[in-house]
């Protein structure tokens, strides 16, 4: 009797330190299943939480607090960026992390490694040595990509935008090994936009109002409460949906407000794809995943906050593609809302720009590239 063929095993390295790294890995695993069924096995490893000693393993828990000092965060980003500085950082830290990197490699054997976090690249590649499985880097920063994302030893680097590709090449990556594929997002964000009235009925939202959805990421970051209050006091004939994420204190505070306009308050929710399809505008911080999801819903974006450093370029991208505006104060958010409410044609122009910029097949494109590397896809097909 012949032995069953061993399925290729894909190892995804990520960490919950912002940037939607977990979401990207989950989206790619979902895409692999959609493309190849059960022809592969997959594994996600949070290399910080599962393999580093205390207190470093608590970094994912600290992240929401660390970014509350945005100027310090931005300064650290720029000070450490640059090819020479990135190489100096990895060389300096290698003696301290080499044992951890080798343990990750030894305890998680795989047929291909996919990283969605910049700190997992050079250390793991060095630990793997010359005789290693294929290695793919999926960059989850949209435009302002740190040099730590890029290591020439990677077999393939997938980037969200052409700007990020140019940056990779500037950092010495081989052009043929850097592919623009878009931001990996879950399939539910890539489905057709659907009927807005039907969705609003399903959600219990007003069907006769201009609706703004306010989101501060999974942790409810940014000036969410101040912006919601400014919209409430603006006199505009609109409704708003405020998503506080995991920030329970913020959610409880918002639920105590006596709102003048129709207002729905949510905590963490899995219904964001429907929220985006049912809304008229998204008001959010400049996170790359949220921007990509909004583009696929053809939903105009108002960016009210950004994390200095890695999110600076996201603001530029949204403005230059005409898919939204930068409005860093509640007053400017209200002014943009007023313009779009009173000038539907102006908003529709932004809707069309979102439609043009959307990349609904990004996750499945990356999945097929993974399939090529493990022999499940004919590269010539």
191-357 has the same fold as 9-187+361-373: yes
What is the four-CA torsion angle of 79, 81, 85, 87, rounded to 10 degrees?
Answer: 150
pLDDT at 34 over 90: yes
Distance (Å, rounded) from C-alpha 151 to C-alpha 130?
A: 14
pLDDT at 359 over 90: yes
Helix or strand (DSSP H, E) at 9:
strand 9-14
The mean per-residue pLDDT over the stretch 264-280 comes to: 95
Packing angle, helices 344-357 and 312-321, rounded to 10: 110
Write out pLDDT tens, residues 5-27: 689 999 999 988 765 889 999 99
- Both tokens assigned to 211: 């609706």
Confidence category of residue 221, pLDDT binned at 50, 70, 90: low
Q: At residue 26, what are phi and psi to the nearest 5 degrees?
A: -65, -40
User: Residue 49 has what pLDDT?
Assistant: 79
User: Residue 2 has what pLDDT?
Assistant: 45
* CB-based contact 297:241 (threshold 8 Å): no
User: Residue 1 has what pLDDT?
Assistant: 41
User: Residue 52 has what pLDDT?
Assistant: 72
CATH code given to domain 191-357: 3.40.50.2000
Write out pLDDT tens, residues 280-334: 999 999 999 999 999 999 999 999 999 888 899 999 999 999 999 999 999 999 9
Task: State what percent of residues in the chain have pLDDT above 70.
Answer: 91
* CB-based contact 341:237 (threshold 8 Å): yes
pLDDT at 68 over 90: no
Decide: pTM greater than 0.85: yes
CATH 3.40.50.360 assigned to domain 9-187+361-373? The reply is: no
Which range has the worst mean pLDDT, 212-226, 268-282, 358-372? 212-226
Cis peptide before 55 (omega within 30 of 0): yes
What is the three-state SS of 111-154?
Answer: CEEEECCHHHHHHHHHHHCCCCCCEEEECCCCCCCCHHHCCCCC
Closest C-alpha among 133, 134, 123, 129 to residue 100:
123
The domains of the chain are located at: 9-187+361-373, 191-357
């Amino acid at each position: 009797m012949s032995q069953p063929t061993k399925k290729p095993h894909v190892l995804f390295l990520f960490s919950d330190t912002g940037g939607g790294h977990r979401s990207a890995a989950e989206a790619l695993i979902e895409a692999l299943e959609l493309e190849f069924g059960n022809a592969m096995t997959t594994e996600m490893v949070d290399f910080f939480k599962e393999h580093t000693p205390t207190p470093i393993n608590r970094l994912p828990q600290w992240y929401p607090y660390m970014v509350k000092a945005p100027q310090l965060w931005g300064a650290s980003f720029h000070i450490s960026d640059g090819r020479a500085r990135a190489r100096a950082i990895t060389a300096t830290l290698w003696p301290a992390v080499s044992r951890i990197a080798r343990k990750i490699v030894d305890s998680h054997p795989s047929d291909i490694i996919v990283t969605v976090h910049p700190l997992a690249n050079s250390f793991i590649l060095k630990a793997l040595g010359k005789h290693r499985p294929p290695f793919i880097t999926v960059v989850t920063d949209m435009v302002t990509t740190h040099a730590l994302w890029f290591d020439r030893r990677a077999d393939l680097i997938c980037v969200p935008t052409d700007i990020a590709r140019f940056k990779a090449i500037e950092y010495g990556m081989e052009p043929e090994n850097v592919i623009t594929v878009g931001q990996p997002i879950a399939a539910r964000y890539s489905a057709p936009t659907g009927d807005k009235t039907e969705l609003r009925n399903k959600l219990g939202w007003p069907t006769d109002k201009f609706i703004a959805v306010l989101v501060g990421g999974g942790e409810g970051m940014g000036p969410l409460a101040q912006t919601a209050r400014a919209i409430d006091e603006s006199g505009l004939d609109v409704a708003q949906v405020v998503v506080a994420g995991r920030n329970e204190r913020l959610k409880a505070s918002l639920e105590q407000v006596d709102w003048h306009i129709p207002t729905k308050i949510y905590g963490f929710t899995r219904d964001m794809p429907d929220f985006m399809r049912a809304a008229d505008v998204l008001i959010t911080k400049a996170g790359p995943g949220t921007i990509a999801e909004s583009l696929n819903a053809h939903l105009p974006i108002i960016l009210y906050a950004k994390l200095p450093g890695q999110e600076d370029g996201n603001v530029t991208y949204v403005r230059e593609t005409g898919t939204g505006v930068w409005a860093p104060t509640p007053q400017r958010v209200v002014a943009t809302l007023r313009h779009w409410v009173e000038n539907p044609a102006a908003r529709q122009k932004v809707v069309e720009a979102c439609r043009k910029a959307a990349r609904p097949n990004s996750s499945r494109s990356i999945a097929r590239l993974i399939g090529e590397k493990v022999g499940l896809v004919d590269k010539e097909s």
